[in-house]
Chain A
Amino acid sequence: MKKIFLIAGICFTSHVCLAQLTTTLVVVPQPPGTLINWGTKELTYIISNQAGSVIRNFIVKAELKESNGTVVAKTNLAKARVRTIGPATLILYAADVIPLEVMVFTGRHKTSLERTGKLPAGNYELCLQLVTPIDFLPFSEVRCRNFTLAAFQLPIPMMPANEQVLDAEKAQTSVMFRWTPVAPRPSELVKYIVTVFEILDRQTPMQALRSNQPLLTKEIIGTTQYIWQPQLSFAKTKVWADDIQADSLYSKEDKAVMDSVDVTTFIWTIQTVDSRGVPFGDGNVNSDGISEPNVFTVIKDRRKIKTGPPLRILYLNSMKNRRN
C-alpha cells in the first residue's frame, strides 16, 4: 500500500515539474505607499507557458513581508480568482496579483491601510507563486522582489504664501515662486510644472484653477524655485470693478481701502509629473499630481494721499475683517 502511495507521489511530482511555468516578477524600487495606486508601472508578473503545454488553471499566491521577515499580508486563497493560461504568455499587474479584496493584512499594517489606504513606510519583500485551485499545490517557483515604500508627499507651494499681497511695482518685473520638493526625494527624476491662473472678477479661486487658461505653465527640473517675469500690466486688469456685495461685506473704512486699490488676484500651484509625464505619487488626492494651491494678490495703490502703513497691510487687514 505504502509503495502505491510512493509511486503515485513521484508520478504527481514529476507531472507538476514538467508542467511548471516560467515566471518573472518586476517591482519598481520605490512604488507609492497607496496600494490602490499601484498600476501597470509598479508591478508586472509575467507567466510563460511552453508551447504545446496543456491549458492550466491557477491562482496567484502572494505574500508580503517586512525586511525582518514578518508577514504583513497573504492572499486568501479560498477567495482568490482562478485564472487560466494556455500555451502563451500572460502578463498580470498589481490589481491582478495583490487585489485588496483577497489580501489579508495584519496588525499595524491593517490599521494603517484601513485609515489611510497606505502601508507604513519601510522596506518590504513581495513573493509570488502560482498554485493549483482547490488544493493550492505550488507549480511554479517562488519569485521575490524587494522594494521600499517611501510615502511621498507632493510639493507645498511656499512663496508667494497663501493670501500674500504683493506690490504691483515689484511684481511687474518679477514674482518669485518657491515650493518644497517631493519628500522624500524619489529615485526617478520628477518634473514640477508651475501654473499660475488669473482669478477673474466674480470667480472663486477654485473656479479659476478649474476653468481658466493658465497665464504661466513652466516645467522645472532639479530645483524648487522659479522667477516669473509676468509681462503683464497690473493697472486695473479687472473689467468689472464694482462689487455689488461690497457694501454688505465690508465696513465703511474697509470699503474705502478696497476702493483705493487696483487688484489682480492669482492662484498658483505645482503639478508634479514623472519622467513619462504621468501625474506623480502619493498624497495625490485627485490623481492629477496637483498640490494644494495658494492665492496671491497684486495691488496698485491708487490713493490720492498715501500715508500710514503700506497699502498691502491695510488691504490684508480689510480682507480679514470681511464679514462672513
Chain B
Amino acid sequence: MKNKTILITTLAVMVCTDIVAQETATKKPPFSISGTAGVSYEYYGLSKKPKGWTGFSPRKPWNQVRFNFSPQMQFGKNFSLPFNFNFAMKPTNYAGPYSGITKQSFGQFITNPMNSFGLNPKYKWAELQLGTQYLNYSELSTGDIGVFGAGFDLRPGTYSIKFFTGLSQQGVNFFTGPPATNGAYKRSNWMFSLGKAKEEKYEVAINFVKAKDDSTSASPPPLLIKPQEGFTMSLVSKVFFNKGWYVKMEGAQSIYTKNLLLPLDVTKASFKPFIEAHTSTVKDFAGDAAIGKKGKNLDIGLKLKYIGAGFQTPGYLFMLPDRFDYTLNTRFNAWKNKTGGYKMNVVASAGQRVNNVSNTTLKAKQFIGNLNWFTQFNDHLSLNVSFNNFGFQAPGGINPYGIKNVSNDFGVNPTYTWGNDKVIHLLSLNYNYSKYDERDVITGLVTSNNTHTALLTYVPTFLTKDLSPDFSLMYFRNSMPGFTLKLITFSAGLGWSAAKKKMNFRAQAQYNYSKTNSFSNNNNIIASLNNDWKVSKKLTWTTFISTNQFKYGNEIVTNNARYLESNIRTGFQYKFGK
C-alpha cells in the first residue's frame, strides 16, 4: 500500500512538472486560420473503334467530383480546431468491403474508405478525435485502417493515453449482380494505448487493438467471408543513444477468431473480457527489432521481423503471416571535394525473407540486394551505378522441381553538364539490363527473360528565361524464347510562366512505337497540358488535360483496333489565412 502511494505521488509530480515545462511563453494571436478548401472535377472519356470491340476497359470513373475542406483554426495559444473532410460523390471501390457497390447508404458513404470526415479539436495536450481517423499506434498493432468514430489522444507531459472506437466498415448485403457485390459484415473497432516518451531519448507504449464483426449486419450474408473477431496487444519500445545510435523493438500477441458463427470453445485461448475463443480461434505472436546508427554521412541499420503463421491483427488488413525477414541497410558519403562536401554517395541494402516458416519442408527463401552508387567526378561529369537482385527459391515438395526465380537488374547512368551564364545543358544516358529467370517446376527448364533499356535525356536550363524544355528518347527491348517486344518512346516537354508568373504551364507530348514479334507495330500518342493559375493570393485554379490515342497493328484479333482516352481534371483550391 505504501509503495503504491509513493508510486502514484511520484507519477503525479512527474506529470505536473512536465506540463508546466511545456507551457512556454510564446505569444500567439487570439485567432488564426490556415489550411485549404477546394473542389475538383474529373472527366474521363473513352472511345473505341471498331464499335463493340472489348479489348480495352475504362480506367477511371466517367465523372467524379471531389471535395476537400481542411482548415486549421487556432484560438489563442492553447486551442486548435483542425478539420479534415475529403470526399467524392461516386463510389469506385474495387477491392475491400464496398467493392462493386453503386448506391451506398448514408452510413456506407460516411465509412467508405474513399471518404474522410475528421475533426480533431485540441486543447493544450488533450486532443479529441472525431470522425474518420487513420491512427498509427505501431507496426504490429494498428496503422492502416480508417475508423469512423470517437476517441482521444492525451499527452500530459511525457505520458500518452490514447483511445478510439468506431466503425471501419458498414454491413453490405451480398448481391449476385449485376453489378455483383461481395458483401461485408459491419465491423466495430476499439484501440487503446498507454505510453511514455521523451523526444530523442526513449519511447515505450503498450497497445491494445480489437475488432469485431456483427454477424447479423448483412442479409443475405457474404458468400466467401465469415464474421471475424480479432484482438492484438503489443509492447513497443524505442531508445535513442548518443551519436545517433538507436534500438527499436516490438512484440505482439494476437488472438483471432476466423469464424464467429462456429461455437465457443473453452479449451482454446481466450483473453476475457476482450475476446472469448471459438473453435476457429488461433493465437500467435509477432516481433520486430531494429538497431542502427543515423548520422550526417553514415547510416547503418539492421532490421528483423517475424510474423507468426497465425498472427493476424485487425489494424493491418493485408499483413502477410508466416515469415521472417532480416535486412541490413547502409548509406554513406565518401571522397571529400574541395568545398568540404562529398563526391560519392552509396545506398545499399541486403537481406533475406523466409516464407512459410512454420512448415520446415516448404520454407521458401528470398534474397534481396540493392546498391546505388553515385559519384560526382567534377563539376561536369557524374556517374550513377545501380544493381538490384532478388531470388526466390522454394523446395520441390509436391512438384518434381522447386520454384526458382532470379531477377537481376544492372543500371549505369553517366550525366554530363556544361554551359555559360545564359544556359546550362544536361545530357544524361541511362542504360539498364534486366534478366529474369523462371524455372518450370514440372520440367525443370529455365526460361530466361532479358530486358535492355536505353534512355537519352537532354535538358537545357535557361537562366534568363522562364522556359524549361526537356527531351528524351528511350529504347526498350524485352525478349524470351518465342517472344520479343520492342518499344521506342520520344518525349518532349515545355514549361513556361505567364501573367507575371501567376500562370505556370507545362505541356508534354510523347510518341510510343511498340512491336511484338513479327506483327505490325502499334502506335501511341500522348499529349498533356497542365496549368496552375494563381487567380488571387488565396485562390489557385489547377487544370490538367491529357489525351491518349492508341492504335494497334495486327497483334490482336481485331486488327487495327484503336482507342482514344481523354482526361480532364480541374479544381479550385482556396488557401485560408495569410
- Interface residues, chain A, with chain B CB atoms under 8 Å away: 30, 34, 36, 99-101, 112-118, 120-122, 148, 150-151, 153-154, 156, 158-159, 161, 167, 169-170, 172-174, 176, 178, 180-181, 183-185, 187, 195, 197, 200, 202-207, 209-217, 223-225, 227, 229, 231-233, 235-237, 239-242, 244, 269, 271, 278-279, 283, 285-288, 290-293, 302, 304-310, 313, 316-317
Contacts and interface: CB of A to CB of B under 8 A. Distances in A.
A231 B321 contact: no
B199 to A, nearest CB: 10
Contacts of A214: 59, 94
Contacts of B405: 178, 180-181, 224
Contacts of A310: 372, 374, 384, 413
7 contacts: A169-B474, A211-B112, A223-B447, A233-B508, A241-B532, A285-B317, A308-B376
A172 B528 CA distance: 13
A78 B562 CA distance: 68
A269 B59 CA distance: 16
Interface in B133-173: 134, 144-146
Contacts of A178: 390, 405, 407, 436
B110 to A, nearest CB: 13
Contact of A170 (B362, B453, B546): B453
B284 A184 contact: no
B433 interface: no
B430 interface: yes
B424 interface: yes
B268 interface: yes
B92 A212 contact: yes
A184 B476 contact: no
A156 B366 contact: yes
Contact of B356 (A30, A183, A279, A293): A183
Contacts of A235: 493, 506, 508, 528, 530
B390 A158 contact: yes
B96 interface: yes
A173 B478 CA distance: 13
B474 A290 contact: no
Interface stretch (B31-39, B188-196, B205-213): B31-39
B38 A240 contact: yes
A226 B441 CA distance: 20
Contacts of B35: 244
- Summarize A's interface: helix, strand, loop or mixed: loop
Nearest to B451: A176
Contacts of A183: 355-356, 362, 364, 392, 394, 403
Interface stretch (B11-19, B21-29, B121-129, B565-573): B565-573
B508 A285 contact: no
B485 A117 contact: no
Contacts of B540: 242
A265 B447 CA distance: 32
Contacts of A174: 453, 476, 487
A43 B368 CA distance: 39
Interface of B: 34-36, 38, 40, 42, 57-61, 66, 68, 70, 72, 86, 91-98, 112-114, 116, 134, 144-146, 182, 224-226, 258-259, 262-263, 265, 268-269, 279-280, 282-284, 308-310, 312, 317-322, 331, 345, 347, 353, 355-356, 358-359, 361-362, 364, 366, 368, 370, 372, 374, 376, 382, 384, 388, 390, 392, 394-399, 402-403, 405, 407, 413, 417, 424, 426, 430, 432, 434, 436, 438, 441, 447, 449, 451, 453, 455, 457, 459, 461, 468, 472, 474, 476, 478, 485, 487, 489, 491, 493, 495, 506, 508, 510, 512, 514, 524, 526-528, 530, 532, 540, 542, 544, 546, 548, 550, 565, 569-571, 573, 575
B359 A121 contact: yes
Contacts of B392: 156, 158, 180-181, 183
B96 A209 contact: yes
Contacts of A181: 392, 403, 405
A229 B487 contact: yes
Contacts of B362: 121, 150-151, 183-184
Contacts of B361: 121-122
B374 to A, nearest CB: 4
A211 B459 contact: no
A24 to B, nearest CB: 25
A17 to B, nearest CB: 36
Contacts of B359: 120-121, 151
A223 B370 CA distance: 24
Given A115-B308, A173-B474, A285 B114 contact: no
Given A150-B362, A213-B94, A278-B224, 14 more contacts: A115-B309, A116-B308, A156-B355, A169-B430, A172-B510, A181-B403, A183-B364, A184-B403, A207-B114, A210-B96, A213-B92, A217-B57, A223-B447, A231-B512
Contact of A209 (B95, B225, B424, B548): B95
A316 B299 CA distance: 14
Given A172-B489, A206-B144, A210-B93, A184 B542 contact: no
Nearest to A184: B397
Contacts of B312: 285
A213 B468 CA distance: 34
A169 B475 CA distance: 11
A308 B382 CA distance: 8
A213 B61 contact: yes
A105 B228 CA distance: 23
Which 6 A-B pairs give the minimum distances between C-beta atoms?
Answer: A211-B114, A210-B96, A233-B528, A116-B310, A116-B309, A210-B113
A213 B93 CA distance: 6
A178 B436 CA distance: 9
Given A117-B258, A204-B134, A150 B398 contact: yes
A176 B485 CA distance: 13
A217 B405 CA distance: 23
Contacts of B434: 176
